[in-house]
Amino acid sequence: MQGLCTGHENPDMWFSDSTETEGSGRPKQNVSLEKLNDALEALAICKICPTQGECKAEGMKAENIDNGIWGGTMSGERLLLSLSNIRSMERTKKVDFAKRVRSVQQYSQ
SS3 21: strand
pTM score, two decimals?
0.81
> In the beta sheet, which residues pair with residue 70?
73
Query: Roughly what angle, to the nearest 10 degrees, separates helices 33-47 and 52-59?
Result: 130
Contact between 83 and 17 (Cβ < 8 Å): no
Please tell me the predicted confidence (pLDDT) of residue 11. 92
Please tell me the predicted confidence (pLDDT) of residue 107. 80
List the chain domain ranges: 11-22+31-108
Please tell me the predicted confidence (pLDDT) of residue 73. 97
Tens digit of pLDDT per residue, the chain (109 long)? 799 999 999 999 999 876 555 555 554 555 678 888 999 999 999 999 999 999 999 999 999 999 999 999 999 999 999 987 877 888 888 899 999 999 998 887 6
Residue 65 φ then ψ, to 5°? -60, -30
CA 64 – CA 41 distance, rounded (Å): 20
